[in-house]
């Protein structure tokens, strides 16, 4: 969907090598006792090195272990995010699609909207815009923020088209949160309908930073903000049926010829919900979609 990233993003590698300085502790252990006689005091000499040094070594080991555990966790997340960002920026990630111009290379294809959420008047619209997308895809986020709003205003609110959203999650590193976001959105549609779905859809795209860095906990907050019953939402989100619905979308995306995200079919809307028309692969500017819609009016 919308996206949701600028090209040419440069990733800087930061060295996490941390020098470890071992501090040697010492204490003078020599003592001179006065000559022993019947009246002299008795002295007890303690060698602090035998206590302090082992304790210091143990404490240092504990501190270093803690730093390494948390440091490597953060490093892993940073490396994953940086890797996907670099691949997206240079076009090396085969499951996300960038654009280098304003004219899309189109093929033809078809799909069905089924029970998918949509905006617009289905009884009057001649054209459907079907988006197959991923809430964690950077280019989908860019489309959602830069192009999708104008498409709704100029193409959907005008009555020319309906806008349909379907899920397509193909980047493994975007999971599990990408699937959780898709499932959460489907739960919103099931509980509160299409308009609530797209409100939630907009809020997820506005909240996530992409590349699998979204948080499942945010989904409960977003659902609460639009007034969903927390128990019903939680039960739906954990349901196998909801997960199967996302899986079905992904399968239909492949059948429709989608090779990346975002991907679109813009074409004639039949009474049975079939959409036949142009395949647009990538987050193109508004004019690309306007041209495609006009073609089928």
Q: Which helix (H) or strand (E) holds 190?
A: helix 177-192
pTM here? 0.69
Which of the two residues, 10 and 131, has the higher pLDDT score?
131
Q: Is 246 among the domain residues?
A: yes
Give the pLDDT confidence score for residue 58 in this predicted structure. 78
Q: Is 49 among the domain residues?
A: yes
Give per-residue pLDDT as tens, 34-73.
444 444 445 445 555 565 677 667 777 777 766 665 554 5
Q: Is 16 among the domain residues?
A: no
What is residue 153's DSSP assignment? Answer: I
Give per-residue pLDDT as tens, 164-187.
999 999 898 999 999 999 999 999
Give the pLDDT confidence score for residue 71 in this predicted structure. 56
Q: Is 123 among the domain residues?
A: yes
User: What are the strands of the beta sheet with 263-269, ordered from one edge?
Assistant: 107-112, 274-281, 263-269, 127-133, 161-167, 118-119
Give the pLDDT confidence score for residue 65 in this predicted structure. 67
Which residues have C-beta within 8 Å of that of residue 93, sequence separation ≥ 6?
A: 84, 87, 171
Is it the case that residue 230 has pLDDT exceeding 60?
yes
Taking 3-state DSSP, the helix, strand and coil percentages for the chain, each rounded to the nearest 5, stand at: 45, 15, 40
Q: Is 17 among the domain residues?
A: no
Domain range enclosing 267: 1-11+22-28+40-297
Which residue from 205, 260, 251 is spatially nearest to 92, judged by alpha carbons?
A: 260
Q: Is 98 among the domain residues?
A: yes
Q: Is 271 among the domain residues?
A: yes
Give the pLDDT confidence score for residue 68 in this predicted structure. 63
Domains: count for the chain: 1
Residue 264, domain CATH: 3.40.30.10
Q: Is 109 among the domain residues?
A: yes
């Amino acid at each position: 969907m919308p996206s949701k990233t600028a090209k040419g993003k440069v990733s800087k590698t930061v060295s996490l090598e941390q020098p470890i300085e071992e501090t040697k502790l010492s204490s003078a252990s020599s003592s001179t006792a006065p000559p022993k006689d019947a009246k002299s005091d008795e002295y007890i000499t303690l060698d602090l090195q035998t206590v302090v040094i082992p304790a210091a070594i143990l404490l240092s080991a504990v501190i270093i272990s803690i730093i390494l555990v948390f440091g490597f966790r953060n490093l892993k997340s940073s490396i994953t995010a940086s890797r996907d960002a670099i691949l997206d920026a240079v076009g090396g990630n085969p499951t996300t699609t960038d654009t280098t111009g304003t004219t899309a290379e189109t093929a033809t294809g078809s799909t069905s909207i089924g029970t998918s959420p949509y905006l617009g008047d289905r009884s009057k619209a001649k054209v459907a815009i079907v988006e197959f997308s991923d809430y964690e895809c950077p280019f989908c986020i860019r489309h959602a923020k830069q192009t999708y709003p104008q498409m709704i205003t100029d193409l959907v609110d005008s009555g020319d088209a309906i806008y349909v959203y379907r899920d397509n999650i193909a980047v493994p590193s975007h999971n599990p949160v990408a699937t959780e976001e898709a499932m959460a959105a489907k739960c919103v549609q099931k509980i509160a309908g299409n308009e609530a779905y797209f409100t939630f859809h907009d809020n997820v795209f506005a909240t996530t930073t992409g590349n699998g860095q979204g948080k499942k906990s945010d989904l409960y907050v977003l659902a609460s903000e639009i007034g969903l019953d927390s128990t019903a939402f939680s039960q739906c989100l954990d349901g196998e049926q909801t997960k199967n619905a996302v899986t079905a979308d992904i399968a239909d995306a492949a059948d429709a010829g989608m090779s990346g995200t975002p991907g679109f079919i813009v074409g004639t809307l039949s009474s049975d919900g079939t959409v036949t028309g142009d395949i647009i692969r990538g987050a193109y500017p508004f004019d690309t979609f306007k041209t495609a819609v006009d073609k089928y009016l």
